[in-house]
A and B are shown apart, each in its own frame.
Chain A
């Protein structure tokens, strides 16, 4: 695919837009699905999985946090460069019917799938609540985007913006009433949320997992998560799993 734009956001995340290399439209993609990217500039061997931040027939957008070699090298791409992408992969979030009350929780770059998910929910007449936790105040442009389709609440670890503390303690979580919750973020945060919701709430809850992958196609069995029905591939059976499937 051809790089259309690269926006280097405050805090280090990169928002990148990719256009199809030929005249063909991109295939339809579901919120919560992911893509595999060959980050040639990083000189790594394997492709890397990234959530779909947004997609249309002309453009696929990703939000990437620089964690290691490949994710950091995304910032080195320029408009006009090409990137090899396999998309879309995996099974996304289930989409409830209106008038459901939906809570979205994104921890760090776990917020990546939430924009496209909120957009899809809006199209079904649902305006979700989005609680977004970061170490420090996120980029204003990202905040503006996220608040288009959701009621946005920010939590920061350092108190530089919004609620000072973890997403799990935010009043929108502890005092909110919901029918559904969709959560993506660091493993520790997701496990906290799992225990909290399982004991205190009866929300129908889904988690999007970020296990390390090699093939992304269900062939290598490297990415498995231990579920109530045994080891299952995050790349093909997930990345989205229901709370009841995860024995956390």
Chain B
């Protein structure tokens, strides 16, 4: 028996496999393909104070080993989540983490205050890194001052685990990571999507309605592993790694880079039961390599 259980600070989870926000809906969309209670947890779609219609179509383009998206945080707003979605998720048997976005510090705080009333939401993930909205989002995540301002304000409003999701679209991710840690983050997750662009040369037009969008999938994995490794060394809070994971081997790579847990994003689109296969694959890998607890692998590369 391999012990896959892990802790993200005070958050104990049964295995290190979570799902990435925006790629797993509210979990229920995948209930035909995975037993949700087998997951370490899932992170629901980015939630904002007011409902958002998101960006116009086309919002997606496949690129070599990846995809660009420009969804733009379409969601029905935090009140809809509280009144309609949350009741369906109660008792689901795994951690449900809400990904929170906003246009202003006040927006983030207001969403966090409302979510604090939900007893089964033990953690929120602050998205200070979305490349697909014109104001806010990534703006907070690209300067130390911005990150610090939003994290410290939410820290006062949110009593439980506070995960902060970092943008890779910065010169020094370790500086932003330290700023978030200093402002009271309990853990960090990285990476969000990389800002990218693709052109339909036949039509001589950008592939996305917004021209630029967020790159995800296997194409971003080496960048993500590098950043997780750098950040895990630079801070004293746990790091959750993501970006391009499609297999158990990919997930283990992130753990070896220093992550306590991982998130699976684009892989859910390729195979809706990817998360279960990754959990099973990690267990088998550990068995084959005589590893009794996944914790033995964390940051083991000694680099």
The answer to whether A and B come from one shared complex is yes
| Complex CA–CA separation, A220 to B26 (angstroms) | 10
The answer to whether B29 touches A217 (Cβ under 8 A) is yes
A38–B74 CA distance with the chains assembled, in angstroms: 27
B7-45 CB contacts (< 8 Å) to partner A: 22-25, 29-30, 45
A226 contacts chain B at the CB level, 8 A cutoff: yes
**CA A218 to CA B266, docked complex, whole Å:** 14
B24 lies within 8 A of A219 (CB): yes
| Shortest Cβ gap from B247 to chain A (Å) | 14
B189 to chain A minimum Cβ distance, whole angstroms, is: 19
Which listed residue, A218, A222, A225, A231, touches B60 by the CB 8 Å rule? A222
Report the bound CA distance from A230 to B272 in whole Å: 27
Q: Is the pair B74, A214 in contact by a Cβ cutoff of 8 Å?
A: no
Q: Would you give the 0/1 interface string for B44-55, flagging 1 where the beta carbon is closer than 8 Å to chain A?
A: 010000000110
- Flag if A222 contacts B270 (CB, 8 Å): no
Residues 202 to 248 of chain A near chain B (Cβ within 8 Å): 211-226, 230-231
B58 to chain A: closest residue by CB: A212
Whether B269 contacts A46 by the Cβ 8 Å rule is: yes
A-contacting residues, B44-96, CB 8 Å: 45, 53-54, 56-62, 65-67, 69, 71, 74
Q: How big is chain A's contact interface, by range?
A: 20 to 34
By a CB distance below 8 angstroms, the chain B residues around A46 are 62, 67, 269-270
Instruction: Name the residue in A84, A211, A220, A226 with the highest tally of chain B Cβ atoms < 10 Å from its Cβ.
Output: A220
A45 interface contact, C-beta 8 A:
yes
Contact B69 A219 (CB under 8 A): no
Complex Cα distance, B271 from A38, in Å, reads 9
Q: How many residues of B contact A (CB 8 A)?
A: 30
**What residue of chain A has the Cβ atom nearest to residue B26's Cβ?**
A219
Residue in B30, B269, B271 with the greatest tally of chain A CB atoms within 10 Å: B269
Q: Does B217 have its Cβ within 8 Å of any Cβ on chain A? A: yes
List A contacts of B218 (CB < 8 A).
45
- Kindly report which residue of chain A lies nearest to residue B71, judged by CB atoms: A221
- From known contacts A220-B22, A221-B74, A224-B74, infer whether A214 and B271 are also in contact, taking CB-CB under 8 Å: no
Neighbouring B residues of A219 by C-beta, 8 Å: 23-25, 29-30, 268-269
- Chain A nearest CB from B39 CB (Å) reads 14
| Residues of A contacting B56 in the complex (Cβ-Cβ under 8 angstroms) | 226
Q: Is the CB of B272 within 8 A of A212?
A: no
Known: A45-B65, A217-B29, A222-B69. A211 touches B57 (CB 8 A): yes
Chain A: minimal CB distance from B160 (Å): 25
Residue of A nearest to B32 (CB): A217
A86 at the interface (CB under 8 A from B): yes
At the interface, yes or no: A47 with Cβ under 8 Å from chain B? yes
Docked pose: A220 CA to B44 CA in angstroms: 11
Chain A residue numbers with a CB within 8 Å of B272 are 86, 215, 217
B residues in contact with A216, CB < 8 Å: 269
Asked if A21 lies at the interface with its beta carbon under 8 angstroms from chain B, I say no
A44 at the interface (CB under 8 A from B): yes
- The answer to whether A224 and B25 have CB atoms under 8 Å apart is no
A215, B269: Cβ atoms under 8 Å?
Answer: yes
Which of A84, A211, A221, A223: most chain B Cβ within 10 A? A221
| Binary interface encoding of chain A residues 38-80 relative to chain B, with 1 for a CB under 8 A from any of its CBs, else 0 | 1000001111000000000000000000000000000000000
Report which of A213, A225, A231 forms a contact with B74, defined as CB distance below 8 A.
A231
CB distance from A91 to the nearest CB of B (A): 15
Using Cβ atoms and an 8 Å threshold, which residues of chain A touch B61?
Answer: 212
Known contacts A214-B69, A224-B59, A230-B53; A47/B24 CB under 8 A = no
Contacts of A44 in B (CB 8 A): 62
| Complex Cα gap A214–B71 (Å) | 12
B217 A45 Cβ-Cβ under 8 A: yes
Binding site for B on A (CB under 8 A): 38, 44-47, 84, 86, 211-226, 230-231
A-B contact list, 12 entries, CB within 8 Å: A38-B271, A46-B67, A214-B67, A214-B69, A215-B23, A217-B30, A219-B268, A220-B60, A221-B71, A223-B59, A224-B54, A231-B54
